[in-house]
């Protein structure tokens, strides 16, 4: 991003969802949660606000336990940048009840690590394949959907190589099911990260490695043109959305 120092989640996520080089604007990388300046930028405008403002449905597809919601509502815990971006757009962060209705998934996809003291026995366990298929079903309800899988960051900071391998194997299973259910003509699937981390187990800091971005489906070639960094993600998503709107507004020829 052209700013010295290790990248952090607060400014990295804000860059993804504002389409602005937030570390450059602030003169620093900051995180894990957004500071006051970053929160102001997210409140001014972000990808979720743009999509909702155009009359489309948008959602976060992961659910959070009651303890997370209580901590945020009491002010003891700050929302992450992507959660704040959604909140500023009026998007509700989902909970265990949503998950039990099948309207959300736990952040680990399967429910294996759902907190034991918060009704874990009630949470349905899913295989990675079932979770991937459910992600597609949920995504089809919305124009823009996000699933944030942050356990990779936790393992990158404090986990072992075996745990990292296990997570990546699970990720592969989930994505195999997603790709098996997804039709490219339905739109794009974008896989990215706000910083590097898990590729260097044993170093609790974020890495300086380039972050790979994978784009699958309709519009991927246009998305790739001139793509440089995280600030290019939001504008390209909006371009694809606007292009799709124009196609649908064209008069039909009899």
Q: Where are the domains of the chain?
A: 9-247
Residue 74 — pLDDT band, cuts 50, 70, 90?
A: very high
User: Under a CB-based contact definition with an 8 Å cutoff, are residues 104 and 146 in contact?
Assistant: no
Q: What is the DSSP letter of 60?
A: E
**Maximum Cα–Cα distance across the chain:** 64
- Residue 181, C-beta contacts closer than 8 angstroms, at least 6 positions apart: 132, 133, 136, 137
Fold classification of 9-247 (topology level): Alkaline Phosphatase, subunit A (3.40.720)
Instruction: Dump pLDDT digits (tens) for 2-59.
Output: 899 999 999 999 999 999 999 999 999 999 999 999 999 999 999 999 999 999 999 9
Q: What percent of the chain lies above the pLDDT cut of 90?
A: 71
pTM of the model as a whole: 0.90
pLDDT reading at 120 higher than 70: no
pLDDT value at residue 140: 96
Residue 254 — pLDDT band, cuts 50, 70, 90?
A: low
Q: What are the residue ranges of helices labelled H in 28-160?
A: 36-44, 47-53, 66-74, 81-88, 96-100, 128-139, 151-158
């Amino acid at each position: 991003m052209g700013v010295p120092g290790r990248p952090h989640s607060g400014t990295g996520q804000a860059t993804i969802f504002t389409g602005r080089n937030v570390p450059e604007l602030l003169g620093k990388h900051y995180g894990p949660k957004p500071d006051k300046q970053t929160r102001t930028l997210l409140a001014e405008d972000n990808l979720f606000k743009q999509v909702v403002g155009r009359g489309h449905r948008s959602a976060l597809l992961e659910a959070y336990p009651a303890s997370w919601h209580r901590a945020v509502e009491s002010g003891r815990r700050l929302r992450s940048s992507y959660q704040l971006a959604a909140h500023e757009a009026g998007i509700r962060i989902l909970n265990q009840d949503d998950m039990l209705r099948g309207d959300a998934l736990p952040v680990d996809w399967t429910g294996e690590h759902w907190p034991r003291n918060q009704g874990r026995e009630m949470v349905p366990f899913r295989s990675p394949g079932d979770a991937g298929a459910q992600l597609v079903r949920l995504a089809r309800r919305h124009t823009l959907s996000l699933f944030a899988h942050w356990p990779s960051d936790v393992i990158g900071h404090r986990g072992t190589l075996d745990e990292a391998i296990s997570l990546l194997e699970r990720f592969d299973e989930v994505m195999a099911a997603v790709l098996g259910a997804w039709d490219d003509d339905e739109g794009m699937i974008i896989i990215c990260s706000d910083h590097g981390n898990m590729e260097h187990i044993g170093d609790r800091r974020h890495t300086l490695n380039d972050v790979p971005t994978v784009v699958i489906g309709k519009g991927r070639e246009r998305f790739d043109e001139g793509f440089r960094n995280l600030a290019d993600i939001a504008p390209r998503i909006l371009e694809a959305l606007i292009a799709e709107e124009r196609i649908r507004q064209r008069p039909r020829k009899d």
